[in-house]
Amino acid sequence: MIDIFGIPIQAFLGQILLGLVNGSFYAILSLGLAVIFGLLNVINFAHGALYMLGAFLAWMGMQYLGLNYWVMLVVAPILVGIFGMILERLLLRHLYKLDHLYGLLLTFGIALMIEGIFRSFYGVSGQPYPTPESLRGAVNLGFMILPIYRGWIVLASVIVCLFTWFMIEKTRLGSLLRAGTENPKLVEAFGINVPLMITLTYGFGVALAGFAGVLAAPVLQVSPLMGANLIIVVFAVVVIGGMGSIMGSIVTGLGLGVIEGLTKVFWPEASSTVVFIIMAIVLLLRPAGLFGKEK
């Protein structure tokens, strides 16, 4: 058996892979945050709650309507997106002229409410969500037994991230979005309905969160607090990656997942803090984040 720093290589590789799974969630969530921050300049504190909402919708679909995982994997993000758009239209929209901090506070309030409502109906203990039939079981990778579903998480999130990246970097829609981030006023002067674009972007960003929620449902319990615990780490990821940078979010999300996974092996006590420590260091050295542009 080969050891790395006294840890068998199997365990090492295994933890890297698990880190990648967690990193997948970080990546999708921070991607959504980045998209939203880019165009709206709002730190979407409700992101975690909407992630939770996605998971719950999947669970409710199964519980009450008998809809299976694959249906909900499509439907739940759409519903979350629509919900987000309603939020944007009714509430967030009125705050753009004010200090960005109000956006943060508003979404914080929204997060509290959504979480509170689900708590009052379902308690904080999680609801189990079965792994879809077709993704049950595990493959033996030699160094570890990887449940197929975990592999699917990494695959699905990489696909979604790359798809989003492609949409934003390579399509006309994306060019509108990027241009809107740079100079929304001018884009509007070209005749583009920027307010609508903002609504849709917010919808899309939170739909990503919803998607992550559905992905997470079978591995984590579907619980009202699942988002609250995750969101702060994701914030840190966004800050490290560079606020608003798409590729930054994806790469940092996955990377930090892995680093966190490794910390669990080498220095378990620090595993929950390592992301914040990295954040502090990055901020000292590169205030705009690893991939962020200095403004």
Partner 1 sequence: MTALALEIKDLQAWYGESHILHGVNISIPKGQVITLLGRNGAGRTTTLRALLGLTGTRKGSIKVHGVEAINLPTHKIAHLGIGYCPEERGIFASLSCEENLLLPPQLNGTTAGDKGMSLAEIYEMFPNLLERRNSPGTRLSGGEQQMLAVARILRTGANILLLDEISEGLAPVIVKTLARMITTLKAKGFTIVMVEQNFRFAAPLADHFYVMEHGEIVEQFPASELAAKQDTLHTLLGV
Partner 2 sequence: MNRQILGYALFAIVAASLPAFGIYPIFIMKILCYALFACAFNLLLGYVGLLSFGHAAFLGSAAYASGHAIKVWGFSPEMGILYGILIAATLGFVIGGLAIRRSGIYFTMITLAMAQMVFFFFLQAPFTGGEDGLQGVPRGHLFGLLDLKNDLNLYYMVVGIFMIGYFICWRTVNSPFGQVLKAIKENEPRAISLGYDVDKYKLLAFVLSAAIAGLAGSTKMLVFVSATLSDAMWQMSGIVVLMTLIGGVGTFIGPVIGAFIVVMLENKIGDFGRMIADTTGVQWFSSLGESVTIVMGLIFIICVMAFRKGIVGELAHFFTARQSKSQ
Partner 3 sequence: QEISDDIIKIGFITDMSGVYSDLDGPAGGEAIKMAIEAAGGEINGKKIELVTADHQNKADVASAKVREWIDQGKVDMIIGGTNSATALASAAVAAEKKKPYISIGAGSTALTTTHCTPFTIHYAYNTKALANVTGSAVYNQGGKDWFFITADYAFGHSLEQDTINVVKAAGGTIKGTVRVPLSTTDFSSYMLQAQTSGAQILGLANAGGDFINSIKAASEFGVTPGMKPAGLLVFINDVHALGLKATQGLYLTAPWYWNQDDESRAWSAKFEERIKRKPSFVQAADYTAAETYLKAVKETGTDDGEAIMKWFKSNTINNFFAKDAMVRKDGLMIHDMYLMQVKTPEESKGPWDYYNVVEKIPGEKAFGPESESTCKL
Residues that bind partner 3 (CB under 8 A): 7-8, 10-11, 14-15, 18, 21-22, 119, 123-126, 128, 131, 138, 140, 144-145, 147, 149-150, 219-221, 223, 225-226, 261, 264-265, 268
Positions 225 through 264 that interact with partner 2 (CB under 8 A): 232, 235-236, 239, 243
Q: Binds 220, which of partner 3, partner 2, partner 1, none (CB < 5 to 8 A, cut-off by type)?
A: partner 3
Report if residue 182 touches partner 1, rule: CB under 8 A.
Answer: yes
Give the tokens for residue 203: 């919808």
Report if residue 108 touches partner 2, rule: CB under 8 A.
Answer: yes
Positions 113 through 172 that interact with partner 1 (CB under 8 A): 172
Length of the chain in terms of residues written: 295
List, in sequence order, every beta strand (DSSP E) within the chain: 3-4, 7-8, 138-140, 145-147
Report if residue 269 touches partner 2, rule: CB under 8 A.
Answer: yes
The residue (of 122 and 188) whose beta carbon lies closer to partner 1 is 188
The residue (of 94 and 119) whose beta carbon lies closer to partner 3 is 119
Number of CB atoms found within 10 A of residue 94's CB: 11
CA 227 to mean position of chain CA atoms: 10
Q: Which residues contact 21 (CB under 8 A, 6 or more apart)?
A: 150, 153, 154, 219, 257
CB 280 to partner 2: min, Å:
6
State the Rg of the chain over Cα: 19
| Candidate ranges 139-147, 159-167, 186-194, 254-262; the one touching partner 1 (CB under 8 A) | 186-194
Q: Where are the alpha helices (DSSP H) in 41-122?
A: 47-60, 69-90, 100-122
Q: Residue 139 forms beta bridges with which residues?
A: 146
